[in-house]
């Protein structure tokens, strides 16, 4: 999720075992789990690579997040207690000072959304949403590399969602969550396209090479 292993990089057991100082058995189990959760992909000729990042995948994640998180915001706004609001506020109070440290900011942002699911009380929703957000975080890391100012904007969007929840304004909570997810997806799409352009420009021109 951090991007330390770039998309499409081969995952070679022997090399990873040496780098991570672990035996092959637990490493193989970890790779199988990563493959089952969609973070690694198996090549037709055998072997694993880090899952790619592309527009169709990002748009699929957008659809899932809109369905899950907008309704989640509605439900939490309906019955959030003062204690729930205080918990969410504490998370945001921790997020804003670390806006220039994307990995920590992302971790706290995930905690904010996870806390919404916990307040809602639907454990299946929380598990599914956590997996969706883990995939989204891979794009988020790419985004902050291209647009580091995005963290400041995201912090303000979280505050707007919380304000609607505090006032039990269900429709506004939905609108602000939707705006947050759409804004995040738009900058992620821009980052994916920029990365694709950079990658294409680095490929030698076959006609010139010949």
Give the Cβ contact number of residue 15 at 10 Å: 10
**Is residue 67 classed exposed, middle or buried when 0-12, 13-18 and 19+ CB atoms within 10 A define those classes?**
exposed
93: pLDDT strictly greater than 70 = yes
| Cβ atoms of residues 14 and 8 within 8 Å | no
Tokens of 190: 């821009």
105: pLDDT strictly greater than 60 = yes
Of 172, 77, 170, which Cα lies nearest the Cα of 119? 77
The least confident of 62-66, 154-158, 185-189, 191-195 is: 191-195
Question: Can you give the pLDDT at residue 198?
Answer: 62
Give the Cβ contact number of residue 124 at 10 Å: 8
Residue 64 pLDDT grade (very low, low, confident, very high; cuts 50, 70, 90) = very high
Higher pLDDT, 52 or 201: 52
Residue 147 pLDDT grade (very low, low, confident, very high; cuts 50, 70, 90) = confident
Integer-rounded Cα Rg, in Å, for the chain is: 19
Residue 102 pLDDT grade (very low, low, confident, very high; cuts 50, 70, 90) = confident
Chain mean position to CA 116: 16
CA angle 55, 56, 60 (to 5 degrees): 115
Strand pairing category for 40-42 and 10-11: unpaired
Question: Can you give the pLDDT at residue 150?
Answer: 86
206: pLDDT strictly greater than 50 = no
Most confident range, picked from 1-15, 32-46, 79-93: 79-93
Q: In what order do the strands lie in the sheet with 40-42?
A: 10-11, 48-50, 40-42
Mean pLDDT of the 111-120 span: 95
pTM: 0.83
CA distance between the termini of the chain: 39
């Amino acid at each position: 999720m951090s991007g330390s292993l770039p998309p499409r990089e081969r995952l070679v057991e022997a090399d990873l075992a040496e780098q991570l100082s672990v035996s092959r058995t637990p490493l193989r189990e970890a790779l199988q789990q990563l493959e089952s959760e969609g973070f690694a992909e198996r090549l037709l000729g055998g072997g694993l690579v880090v899952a790619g990042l592309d527009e169709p995948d990002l748009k699929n994640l957008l659809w899932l997040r809109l369905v899950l998180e907008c309704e989640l915001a509605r439900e939490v706004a309906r019955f959030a207690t003062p204690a729930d609001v205080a918990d969410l506020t504490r998370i945001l109070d921790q997020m804003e000072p670390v806006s220039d440290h994307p990995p920590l900011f992302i971790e706290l942002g995930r905690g904010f959304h996870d806390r919404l699911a916990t307040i809602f009380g639907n454990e299946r929703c929380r598990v599914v949403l956590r997996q969706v957000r883990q995939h989204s975080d891979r794009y988020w890391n790419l985004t902050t590399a291209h647009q580091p100012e995005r963290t400041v904007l995201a912090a303000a969007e979280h505050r707007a969602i919380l304000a609607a929840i505090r006032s039990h304004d269900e429709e506004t909570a939905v609108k602000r969550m939707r705006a947050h997810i759409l804004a995040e997806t738009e900058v992620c799409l821009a980052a994916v396209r920029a990365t694709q352009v950079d990658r294409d420009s680095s490929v030698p021109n076959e006609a010139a090479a010949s």
